[in-house]
Amino acid sequence: MSGHIPLAGVIGAPVAHSKSPALHGYWLKRYGIAGHYVHLHVEQADLEEVLRAMPKMGFVGANVTIPHKEHVLAIADIVTDRAALIGAANTLIFRADGKLHADNTDGYGFVENLRMNADWDPKAGPAVVLGAGGASRAVIASLLEVGVPEIRLSNRTRTRADALREEFGAKINVVEWVNAGDMMQGAATVVNTTSLGMEGQPELKVPLNLLSSDAVVTDIVYTPLHTAFLKEAARKGCQTVDGLGMLLYQAAPGFERWFGQRPEVDEDTRNFILAS
């Protein structure tokens, strides 16, 4: 595509709410890169046709969001081990040889957010994961990759948590949702991967009385930035990390692959996205 302005975008349905165009647009401007990143509303029935046509229009890559993250794996020519393990992709690269490459950077974004914003040792003790949906899969895969000794998993619908245990193995112990507070004892890391606490949703109300102040607590929710759950953990003296960083860090590898520049995730980036 040399000589052409590189294009990228986020593919979803609905997609208008996505912050990705603002984020990539910010980085393109910041680094003086001639490129564009757009919202692409695509229905499932059209997904494969659209993906095959995109490179012909100058697209170098794309992010994928709800509801296409799983389905795109069946269309891609090359699926990274990480994306296969998680069962979903969020980052696509249209390679020069015509092959569609699918990767998942959500787990990277999750871990990088904790590494950069807390004094965090994943090996210091068990990790508590609340929720067993799509986001939980990426979080669990990445926690296992960085060597947590144990994952304590709880979900309102227990069968979903049991299924993740079957899939990801013996380091996962499943606890009933009503007893989720019991998992906090001795935990080094606590993660909310449910949608509870998000604007318009009920609060996450898992008791934190057994939680040590040594634990690092994070939430994948970032609207609001400081969820009631994180505020409660902060009152207990824990380090808390909001979910915005996960969004920013998961975007960085794609930007680098498509536009040839590793973007910085810093206070200016955060503030721009918060204001957009």
Residues lying near ligand ATR in the complex (CB under 6 A) are found at 131-136, 155-157, 160, 193-196, 202
Q: Which two tokens mark 72?
A: 């795109």
Q: Are 179 and 204 in contact (CB under 8 A)?
A: no
* CA-CA-CA-CA dihedral for 91, 67, 79, 142, to nearest 10: 70
Containing 64, the helix (H) or strand (E) segment is: strand 59-64
Chain residue at closest Cβ approach to ligand ATR: 133
Min dist. Cβ of residue 202 to ligand ATR (A):
6
DSSP annotation of 185: B
User: Is 95 flagged in the annotation as binding?
Assistant: no
User: Is 81 flagged in the annotation as binding?
Assistant: yes
Provide long-range contacts, Cβ within 8 A and 24+ apart, for 270-273: 270/244, 270/245, 272/22, 272/23, 272/26, 273/19, 273/22, 273/23, 273/26, 273/244, 273/247, 273/248
Angle at 104 between CA 255 and CA 109, to 5 degrees: 65
Q: Are 236 and 211 in contact (CB under 8 A)?
A: yes
User: Is 80 flagged in the annotation as binding?
Assistant: no
Is 69 tagged catalytic? yes
Using the minimum distance from each CB to ligand ATR, give the nearer residue, 176 or 264.
176
Using the minimum distance from each CB to ligand ATR, give the nearer residue, 164 or 241.
164
Min dist. Cβ of residue 166 to ligand ATR (A):
15
User: Is 103 flagged in the annotation as binding?
Assistant: no
User: Is 63 flagged in the annotation as binding?
Assistant: no
Helical spans, DSSP H, in the chain: 20-30, 47-53, 72-75, 81-86, 106-117, 134-145, 158-168, 228-235, 244-259, 267-275
User: Is 2 flagged in the annotation as binding?
Assistant: no
Min dist. Cβ of residue 85 to ligand ATR (A):
16
- Per the residue annotation, which of 29, 56, 69, 231 is the catalytic one? 69
- How distant, in Å, are the alpha carbons of 50, 92, 130, 143, 145 from that of 139? 29, 20, 10, 6, 10
Min dist. Cβ of residue 66 to ligand ATR (A):
7
C-alpha closest to that of 134 among 72, 60, 47: 72
Min dist. Cβ of residue 78 to ligand ATR (A):
24
Paired with 95 in beta bridges are: none
Q: Which two tokens mark 234?
A: 């902060």
User: Is 132 flagged in the annotation as binding?
Assistant: yes
Using the minimum distance from each CB to ligand ATR, give the nearer residue, 65 or 189.
65
Using the minimum distance from each CB to ligand ATR, give the nearer residue, 36 or 156.
156
Using the minimum distance from each CB to ligand ATR, give the nearer residue, 54 or 198.
198
Please give the annotated binding residues for shikimate, written as ranges.
18-20, 65, 90, 106, 222, 250
Catalytic residues: 69
Please give the annotated binding residues for NADP(+), written as ranges.
81, 131-135, 155-160, 220, 243
